[in-house]
């Protein structure tokens, strides 16, 4: 479950991490009043679950009442990468001299949480990891003991953070890990963590994703999650249909049965040069109505240009899955986006023969299916 920036900042501030003065606004007048109260310059920031808001016009820095009104009118109600913007965060602008990245996530290869620090903040950290992996310092943490103070200092110094602010950055990182642990986090990060000319350390952005299976013991976060899902029709549909669903920024829609299977597909889409548009696990029982609901969700995402099914027939046999896919697709007068299917497991061969190849492209291996889906998406882009 993902929190909005304003919600994550509230959690961070309550834990003692410095954040800029800010107010949430749902109307243009509220945004202007907030800007006047905070004092210029301020940033007006769209509150949607999507990266690259600034480049897409969802974040604007303003220095007067007139500019604040114009920016709020532009942002509130806009469609930002398929998301409807209904709220903005009006925030005090930070006069910074440096930007850092700090974050905590689970390193599944190591089976332990990892704390990360980089002096290349303010940019996409995934791009930094790919282009200059040495620019990110990492420290693995034993969850039985938590993050020791020396570990926080060690990873901060290894990242090359200036000594004048190193202790404060280490303190922020320690708090971030404690929040990740106490709140059943999946990811917590600040990008950028801004350094001012007076050597103040301020969280200018905030990301906090929570393990959805742990929400029963995080009632306050669960309430935030209900508010975070407001205005996102796809998230609401996922709840209605009972799907595990996460919306991403790419254009290759992914449908599978089983979290591991979906994650594998997502990783392969990235490996073959595509960009995943979502994580969608339909769970057990791939019947026609459930497949139709999954397709309805993925087809409704304006960012999706092609769809790949990765279904493993276990208790639900491959021939049943194939019949479900056929029946689901036949409910559409026109297939809006190309669909590629790979079946494996019980009665997979029978299922492959049943699939209507007038409606879908059938591939016998997952690698071939993913590559075909990525090709279809790139053809649309071209």
The answer to whether the annotation marks 52 as part of a ligand binding site is yes
3-state SS assignment for residue 211: coil
Per-residue tokens: 67: 């500019």
Contact between residue 265 and residue 256 where contact means Cβ atoms under 8 Å apart: yes
**Structure-token pair, residue 187:** 């990811």
Q: Which residues pair with 312 in a beta bridge?
A: 344
Q: Is 251 annotated as a binding residue?
A: no
Q: Are 237 and 212 in contact (CB under 8 A)?
A: no
- 234 within 8 A of 300, measured Cβ to Cβ: yes
Q: In 3D, which of 257, 219, 186, 275 has the Cα closest to residue 2? A: 186
19 is in an annotated binding site: no
Q: Is residue 205 marked as binding?
A: yes
Say if residue 60 carries a ligand binding annotation.
no
53 assigned binding-site residue: yes
Residue 91 annotated as binding?
Answer: yes
Judge whether 257 is annotated as a binding position.
yes
As a whole number of angstroms, the distance between CA 315 and CA 240 comes to: 24
| Cα dihedral: 177, 180, 183, 187 (round 10) | 160
CA distances from 329 to 292, 299, 333, 354, 359 (A): 7, 11, 9, 13, 7
Contact 275, 251 (CB under 8 A): yes
Say if residue 82 carries a ligand binding annotation: no
Question: Which member of 6, 83, 101, 245 is catalytic?
Answer: 101
333 annotated among ligand-binding-site residues: no
With CA atoms as reference, report the closest residue to 253 among 288, 321, 322, 303. Answer: 303
189 given a catalytic annotation: yes
Active-site residue identified among 67, 92, 189, 320? 189
Any binding-site annotation on 249?
no
| 303 annotated as belonging to a binding site for a ligand | no
17 is in an annotated binding site: no
What distances in angstroms separate CA 32 from CA 26, 29, 46, 59, 68, one per listed residue? 11, 5, 14, 15, 6
Binding positions for substrate are: 257, 314-316
Binding positions for Mg(2+) are: 191, 205
Binding positions for ATP are: 45, 52-54, 91, 94, 99
What amino acid positions are annotated as catalytic residues? 101, 189
């Amino acid at each position: 479950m993902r929190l909005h920036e304003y919600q994550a900042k509230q959690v961070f501030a309550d834990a003692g991490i410095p954040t800029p003065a800010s107010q949430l606004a749902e109307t243009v007048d509220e945004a202007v009043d907030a800007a006047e109260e905070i004092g210029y310059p301020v940033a007006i920031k769209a509150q949607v679950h999507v990266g690259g808001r600034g480049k897409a016009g969802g974040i604007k820095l303003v220095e007067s009442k007139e500019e604040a009104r114009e920016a709020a009118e532009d942002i509130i109600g806009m469609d930002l990468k398929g998301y409807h913007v209904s709220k903005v965060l009006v925030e005090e602008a930070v006069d910074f001299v440096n930007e850092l990245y700090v974050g905590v996530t689970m390193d599944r290869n190591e089976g332990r949480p990892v704390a990360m620090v980089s002096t290349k903040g303010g940019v996409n950290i995934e791009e930094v990891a790919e282009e200059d992996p040495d620019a990110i310092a990492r420290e693995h943490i034993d969850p039985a003991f938590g993050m020791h103070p020396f570990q926080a200092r060690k990873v901060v110094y290894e990242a090359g953070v200036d000594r004048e602010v190193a202790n404060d950055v280490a303190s922020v990182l320690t708090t971030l890990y404690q929040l990740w642990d106490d709140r059943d986090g999946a990811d917590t990060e600040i990008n950028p963590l801004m350094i001012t000319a007076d050597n103040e350390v301020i969280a200018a952005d905030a990301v906090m994703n929570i393990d959805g299976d742990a929400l029963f013991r995080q009632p306050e976060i669960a309430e935030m999650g209900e508010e975070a899902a407001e205005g996102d029709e796809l998230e609401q549909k996922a709840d209605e249909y009972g799907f595990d669903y996460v919306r991403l920024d790419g254009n290759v829609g992914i449908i599978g049965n089983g979290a591991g299977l979906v994650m594998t597909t997502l990783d392969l889409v990235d490996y073959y040069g595509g960009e995943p548009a979502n994580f969608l696990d339909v769970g057990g029982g791939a019947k026609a109505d459930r497949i139709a609901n999954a397709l309805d969700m993925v087809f409704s995402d304006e960012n999706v240009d092609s769809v790949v099914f990765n279904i493993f027939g276990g208790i639900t046999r491959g021939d049943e899955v194939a019949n479900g896919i056929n029946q689901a697709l036949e409910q559409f007068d026109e297939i809006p986006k190309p669909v590629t299917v790979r079946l494996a497991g019980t009665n997979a061969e029978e299922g492959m023969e049943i699939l209507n190849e007038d409606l879908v492209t059938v591939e016998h291996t997952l690698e071939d299916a993913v590559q075909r889906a990525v090709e279809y998406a790139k053809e649309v882009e071209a």
